[in-house]
Amino acid sequence: MTPAPVPVRLDGVVKRYGHRTVLDHVSGEVLPGITGLVGPNGAGKSTLVRAILGLVRLAAGRVLVEGHDPAREPHVVRRLVGVVPEDECAVPGLAAVETVRYAARLCGLPATEALRRAHEVLDWCDAGQERYRPVETLSVGMRQKVAFAAAIVHDPRLVILDEPTNGLDPIERRAMLGRLTTLAHDHGKTILLSTHVLPDVQAICDRVIVLAAGQVRLEGTLADLTRPVVPQLRLELDAAVDEVAARLTALGIPVTRTGSLSLQLPAQHAAGLDRVWRATREAGAVVRALEPVQERFEDVFLQALAAQPQEAPRAAS
């Protein structure tokens, strides 16, 4: 059986505007699930999205979307992709539902079905009766929802979103992230989320690509990237932290106190967890949590940006 093609494969992509190199030998893969594309302003994220859509001519390298080259088969690729652009863009004069219907028709859905599907998707996006108002009169958050609905109305296999939570209040933001998770995990869509909001990335992304100065600085699963270089375990107790720490130290397990009720210990001692349990029990404390320590993604991101471009990107194993 032939394996399913990789949703997006980037192979040494180079894009220059004049003498300025915007994408410098970018390679990587966007796999099924949710992939975060993060980077500072001017990192080349939007250009990379345009390259995936075949909107820019590359100086070198190749992009493949489900095995199709967007430079040669742009229409095939764009039928597979739904895009929420960073810039607000809409045809003036059209109501929200007409905008979504128009998007569906541009993607080849028949007129009647396009209208039915537009209503269905707007319902799912919780657009309410606002759908009958012209898009230019809607709030920023509502326009984001309409843009998202227009991007998915034709049921694309790959959804690319550029700052989709801009202008959304916390409740709507959570709902939007929930919709992305539903699309990815319940409907098998591949989602590429380009954003500056790192908590969003940490909340829903399976994989991350960090782009800076046109180069990939980090790529891998979020779990791998946030794992410390020296694996650690975090032990959370309900009481007697000092006594537990003393007992573990006496057993030869170096511990660090990281909070009023938490300790951190090297993960190589995980094999001797029975000693940890015993020391805790003898100290009269209860273990509330014992879990691997993860770095904050924000710290990982900042470290990646601080690294020199010529340093090899840290690819998670």
Partner 1 sequence: MPLHDVGYREWQGARLGPWSAAAAIATTGIRLAWTSRWLRRAVFLAWSPALFFAASFFAFEQAIDEGRIESLQERAARGRNLDGIGLLGTILADTLGRSEQPSSRPALSREAETAATRRLVWSRLLLAFMRAPQAVLLAVVVGLVAPTLISRDLRAKAWLVYFTRPVGRVHYIAGKLAVLATIVAAVTVLPALALWMAGVLVSPSVWVIAETWDLPLKVIAASIALAIPTVLLALAYSSLTAESRIASFAWFATWAACWIAHSSLVTADLAAATAPEAAAVADAADIDDDEWRPPPQRINWLARAAGLDTTIDRWSWVSPYHAIGVIQAWIFGVETRPQAVVPPAIALASVSVAAALVLAWRVAAPMRA
Residue 90: CB partners within 8 Å, gap ≥ 6? 99, 135, 136, 143, 146, 147
- Output the smallest distance, CB 117 to partner 1, in A: 7
Looking at the Cβ atoms of 188 and 309, the one nearer to partner 1 is 188
- Output the smallest distance, CB 137 to partner 1, in A: 13
Looking at the Cβ atoms of 121 and 222, the one nearer to partner 1 is 121
DSSP 241-285: HHHHHHHHHHTT---EEEETTEEEEEGGGGGGHHHHHHHHHHTT-
| Distance of alpha carbon 46 from alpha carbon 195, whole angstroms | 10
* Token digits of residue 94: 């059209």
- Does residue 85 bind partner 1 (CB under 8 A)? yes
Stretch that binds partner 1, among 4-12, 180-188, 217-225, 291-299 (CB under 8 A): 180-188
Q: Which of 212, 158, 168, 162 has the alpha carbon at shortest distance from 36?
A: 162
Looking at the Cβ atoms of 87 and 274, the one nearer to partner 1 is 87
Residue 6: CB partners within 8 Å, gap ≥ 6? 29, 30, 31, 64, 66
Size of the site for partner 1 (CB under 8 A): 48
- Does residue 91 bind partner 1 (CB under 8 A)? yes
Among 45, 50, 68, 227, binds partner 1 (CB under 8 A): 50
- Does residue 108 bind partner 1 (CB under 8 A)? yes
Residues 64-83 close enough to bind partner 1 by CB under 8 A? 74-76, 78-79, 81, 83
* Token digits of residue 25: 């030998």
DSSP state letter for 72? T
* Token digits of residue 85: 């652009």
Among 5, 12, 110, 309, binds partner 1 (CB under 8 A): 110
- Does residue 155 bind partner 1 (CB under 8 A)? yes
Q: Which of 223, 193, 197, 185 has the alpha carbon at shortest distance from 209?
A: 193
Looking at the Cβ atoms of 61 and 85, the one nearer to partner 1 is 85
| Distance of alpha carbon 240 from alpha carbon 271, whole angstroms | 23
Question: In terms of DSSP H, where are the helices of the chain?
Answer: 45-53, 74-80, 96-106, 111-124, 140-152, 170-186, 198-204, 222-225, 241-250, 273-282, 297-306
Among 10, 30, 103, 138, binds partner 1 (CB under 8 A): 103
| Distance of alpha carbon 138 from alpha carbon 17, whole angstroms | 35
| Distance of alpha carbon 27 from alpha carbon 75, whole angstroms | 23
Among 48, 56, 191, 225, binds partner 1 (CB under 8 A): 56
- Does residue 178 bind partner 1 (CB under 8 A)? no
- Does residue 15 bind partner 1 (CB under 8 A)? no
Residues 181-220 close enough to bind partner 1 by CB under 8 A? 182-183, 186-187
Among 6, 31, 55, 246, binds partner 1 (CB under 8 A): 55
Among 10, 23, 26, 152, binds partner 1 (CB under 8 A): 152
Looking at the Cβ atoms of 111 and 230, the one nearer to partner 1 is 111
Among 26, 37, 51, 121, binds partner 1 (CB under 8 A): 121
| Distance of alpha carbon 45 from alpha carbon 41, whole angstroms | 8
Residue whose tokens read 């690294």? 307
- Output the smallest distance, CB 59 to partner 1, in A: 14
Interface ranges with partner 1 (CB under 8 A): 50, 53, 55-56, 74-76, 78-79, 81, 83, 85, 87-94, 98, 102-103, 105-111, 113, 117, 120-121, 123-124, 126, 128, 136, 150, 152, 154-155, 179, 182-183, 186-187
